[in-house]
Every structure is written in structure tokens, then in C-alpha cells.
Amino acid sequence: MAQECSKSDEVVLGAEVGIVRVITLNRPRQLNVISPGVVYLLAQFLEKWEKDDDAKLVIFKGEGRAFSAGGDLKVFYQGRKDDSCLEVVYRMYWLCYHLHTYKKPTVALTNGIVMGGGSALVVPAKFSIVTEKTIFGMPEASIGLHPDCSFSYILPRLPGYFGEFLALTGSRLNGKEMVAAELATHFVPSEKLRELESALLDLSMNDENSIRSVIEKFSLDVQPDEESILNRLPTIDKCFCGESVEEIIKLFQDEANMAGNEWIFPILKGLKRSSPTGLKITLKSIREGRKQTLAECLKKEFRLTMNLLRSVISTDIYEGIRALNIDKDNSPKWEPSNLQGVSTEKVDLCFKPFQDELELQIPGDEASRWSGKYETTVYPSLKGKPDYLVSYVNDSSGTRN
């Protein structure tokens, strides 16, 4: 019998079944978006179970068709004048680091929309399961943001320049394509998902081979469909290797004018409608990510998010959220309105490191993160702290203060 760790009206449910722990995102009507409450509860469950010797496997899943439709953008919009959203941003980046370096096997069961920051719960999982109903995308650049939550680390490690393509265009992938691109590990038909979950809950062995063996009993070997974007990789590589957004768009436009490349036109149209600031910051971030470690990428993404939320060079993020989520007119008015208005100097300003004490304080390597203890203070309340974040110091006992 599962032991519920939270009430049914919580945004996140936790259950304990034998050696398995289950996290369920529980806001299906809101597409299970990542809200401040979700971040807080995810952190609590993950910390508790990582220190629990009886917990051997953690499963992530979502109620309804959406696993997680990304971050709650309305929180950013509502907090644009008082910095109230900055604490949850700091917590979210720490959570991303924790997910990547979690010390116990994780399985993500994904049977619906997986967008933006919500993908950070799926892609880093040791075993990420998708179905024919799964839809993945990173649409941040289109609204003046950037692929965050570790995706400037993940996307550059896809084949060729496919990461740049996904980051700049926000193009969507289905479950088969996610497996082919190695953004997911296994494809399981949706009608088999509950049976798979039951088999995982019955596990008595926690080694990765045992977990993989159970999953492979339900998974299928799949290939992208004939019309898949993954069959266009030579064209994508030819265009998205460009050194600037302007060059990429020109190369893509030239290819669109060639016979047989009609598939480019709707993608190109969306690309041209996106935030010029978001596009330029995104390209630079992805290109830097090719040579950066996970920790370096997360620290960089934190700076970018902070600077964009504080409108250091543009207010496009708020205009994008307004057009998409508030007024829903889908007619954003970008400032600057074109790529030429976004100078290299402006973009570089968003990447400029903060003072050391204001940076995202995560270990530079995995070994330095663990020294015997891992206290909940890595997800502290920042209220009353100087500015908008707090520095973490390892004392001799390994506790983070």
C-alpha cells in the first residue's frame, strides 16, 4: 500500500511504495506547470528520499495529459515590479543541478506535453520514458527568454546543430523523435504506461540493470517518421551553423527557396516573429554551452534569467508573457523590433558575471557537492537576505549554511 506524503489537494504528491518513491505533479487543469509551490515541494521530496536508505528509486509522473508544460510565466509577470519571483528562480536552478546529480536512479513517465523548464524533470532522468502522446519543445526564445534549466548544456550536445535549431525555432518533437535525438531513453505505448509503473513499483532490486530490464519489457524500438525533422538534419546543419542569427535566417531562407524545402516556410515564419533579443541571447548561450560544464551552464543561465527579468537590456520577456499568457493576443511588440537593434554589446552585458557572492552558488564539480550531509538549507528562504540571493558556505561538517 502506498504511503501518501502529502494531501490530495497539493500541487505535488509524494508516495512511498516499498523501495520506490513516486512524485506526481497534480495540477492537470494547469498542465502541471512549474510554479513556486511545485519547486518547493519537489525539492523537499528529493532531499528527503536521497537521504532515506529505504528509498532506492524515484519515479516522476504527471496527472492528466501534460507531464509539465514548463514554468509558470504568470509568476514572472506578476512579480516584475517587486522581485518576488527571483527566489523561486534561484531555487529552480538549484533543483536542476540536484536532478542532474541525483544519487539514486530516477524514472520519468512522460505521456503528454513537456515544454521549457518542465523538460528539466524529464531529460536528465536516468530513464526517461515517452509515448506517442509526448510533445517536447523549448519555446523560450520566441517570448524573449532563453533555453534555461540546464538546456544550454543539453542542447549543444545533440547531433550537429540540431540543438541550435530547437533552441531558436522552438520546434516540437514527438516521442519517437525524442528517443532518436537521445532526449529520452525509451518509447512505451501509452496503454502500457500504467502496467510499466506497476512493474516498477513491484521491484525489489534497485540496480540500474534491473530497472532497465523492466522498462525494456514494455518498450518498443522506434524510428522517426518519414516526414520527421530529424530527416532534415543535413539542411539544418548547413543553415544553423551560421555565426549569427542574421546569417542563420539568411541561410535558412535560401534553402526554403529550393524545390522540396517547403517544410521550412512555417518554421522560418515563426523564427522571424520571435523576440530579436531572445534569439540573439539564445544563440550565444547555446554556442557557449558547447564548451561549458553543467555547473558553468547553470550559472550562466541564472545570470541571463536575472538580467532579463530585471530588463537590463530589454522588456521583451514581459511583452512575450503578456501576448502569450495574459492578453493572449499573440501580437507582441518587441523592443528592439529587429535583430539589427540588438547589438553585440547589449547581448554581452547579459552574460557579464555577477560579483562572486551574487552568483548561483552550486559546486563546480559533482565531488564537491557531497561531503556526508546534504541539508535543506540548499533551498533556503531568501527573504530578508541582502539583494535577491544568498551565498552558501561549506563548513567542516559538510552542512550548507
Q: Which residues contact 362 (CB under 8 A, 6 or more apart)?
A: 93, 94, 97, 295, 298, 299, 369
Assigned C-alpha cell, 384: 530578508
Q: Compute how many other C-beta atoms are within 10 angstroms of the C-beta atom of residue 336.
A: 16
* CA–CA separation, 234 and 194 (whole Å): 38
Q: Determine the residue type at 23.
A: I
Catalytic residues: 71, 117, 140, 148
* CA–CA separation, 159 and 154 (whole Å): 11
Q: Determine the residue type at 95.
A: L
Separation in Å, CA 225 to CA 177, 230, 238 = 8, 9, 22
